[in-house]
Amino acid sequence: MRISLLVTAMLVALALAVGAQAKEAPMTSQHPIAIVIHGGAGTITKESMTPELEREYRAALTQALKAGYAVLEDGGRAVDAVQAAIMVMEDSPLFNAGRGAVFTRGGLNQLDASIMNGATLEAGAVAAVQHVRHPIKLAWTVMSESPHVMLVGEGAENFAWAHGFPYTPASWFYTERRWKSHIEGLKTLKSTSAGTPAKIPGAKAYVYDTVGAVALDRDGHIAAGTSTGGLTNKLDGRVGDSPIIGAGTYANDATCGASGTGTGELFIRLNLTKSISDLMAMKGWSLEKAANYMIHDRLVELGGKNTGGVIALDAEGHIVAPFNTPGMYRGWIGTDGELTVKFYKDR
């Protein structure tokens, strides 16, 4: 009798201890999580879309958001969530990144990507790669496994083979509609023109179609990444803003993470994403004020009216997505866990 009482008491004590631990466990990682993505800004209007295309874009953006958010929910790092979300969009022929990338003037798919970890300010980037299915993964690997920030062309690809990336043939990236835009564009091209945004399939609209993601993890760390095929009929070897840290991609836990889409040359000259961070750090501006200023004031002043947008989030999980084009493919899962996907000005 006494022994059974003792055993019961021990079991009760054990149960209480386990209960206390179970209650405490979530306390260790309570930082709110959030993710925001874009699939490019441009002349995206209700009139320029079909219901079928809307469905396809919505499905692809939702899949990318869920892939990134799953990493965050599992307690994974923001930088890995960004990679996961972007890899989904790189595999979708809808976007100008990975499969479905636009063609250069010489008929090549030359891909750019970058990623930045706001916790450490480590960054990785690749430019003008032609045989890597997931350029964002290669950028991640440059960041994590090389002493460098950026590798380009053949050197970047040799680094990829050395790190076990499979060779992806050019045919993987080919889509008929991007090839058509390339051929159509060549007819009207002036030798000095910089290249144009991609065309929405089956519609009269132009869209930059680059993809990007910014995430906030359970440890309060921010990361950002961007991946693109660049501009249709860009000169072979041209590098845009997407792989340039501070231009198309930037992340710093102390301020924000941001990823841009638009005419890369302007984003490079404005150091656009880093400028948002600087305005917050040096002037004490809110994320919203800083991002709006760069897109609606500075970009426009430099001739970038109707050319671009940015997605960004701060350490508290505030999300902004300003653009000065009619639309931008974008979506987020905020700190409330709600998933939102939008294309047009208010929708």
Residues that bind ligand ASP (CB under 6 A): 40, 96, 208-210, 228, 230-231, 240-242, 248, 261-264
C-beta atoms surrounding 25 within 10 Å = 9
Q: Least distance (Å) from ligand ASP to the CB of residue 262? A: 5
Closest CA to 35 of 324, 299, 269, 251: 251
Residue with Cβ nearer ligand ASP (204 or 283): 204
The DSSP output letter for 340 is E
- CB neighbour list of residue 104: distance below 8 Å, 6 or more residues apart: 110, 230, 233, 234, 235, 236, 238
Residue with Cβ nearer ligand ASP (71 or 156): 156
Q: Least distance (Å) from ligand ASP to the CB of residue 311? A: 12
Q: Least distance (Å) from ligand ASP to the CB of residue 33? A: 26
Q: Least distance (Å) from ligand ASP to the CB of residue 216? A: 23
Residue with Cβ nearer ligand ASP (210 or 273): 210
List the structure tokens of 175: 């889509």
Class of residue 224 by CB neighbours under 10 A (exposed 0-12, middle 13-18, buried 19+): buried
The residue annotated as part of the active site, out of 43, 104, 141, 210, is 210
Active-site residue, 210 included: yes
Specify whether the CB–CB gap between 272 and 294 falls below 8 A. Answer: yes
120-124, long-range: CB < 8 A, 24+ apart: 121/252, 123/149, 123/245, 123/249, 124/149, 124/150
List the structure tokens of 153: 């062309």
Residue with Cβ nearer ligand ASP (71 or 139): 139
The DSSP output letter for 226 is E
CA angle 149, 165, 173 (to 5 degrees): 95
Q: Least distance (Å) from ligand ASP to the CB of residue 265? A: 7
Residue with Cβ nearer ligand ASP (130 or 210): 210
Residue with Cβ nearer ligand ASP (95 or 332): 95
The DSSP output letter for 8 is H
Lay out the sheet containing 256-262: strands in order across. Answer: 249-251, 256-262, 308-314, 319-320
3-state per-residue secondary structure call for 28-60: HHCCCCEEEEEEEEECCCHHHCCHHHHHHHHHH
Q: Least distance (Å) from ligand ASP to the CB of residue 208? A: 3
Q: Least distance (Å) from ligand ASP to the CB of residue 339? A: 23
Rounded CA gap, 127 and 264, in Å? 13
Residue with Cβ nearer ligand ASP (96 or 273): 96
What positions carry a catalytic annotation?
Answer: 210
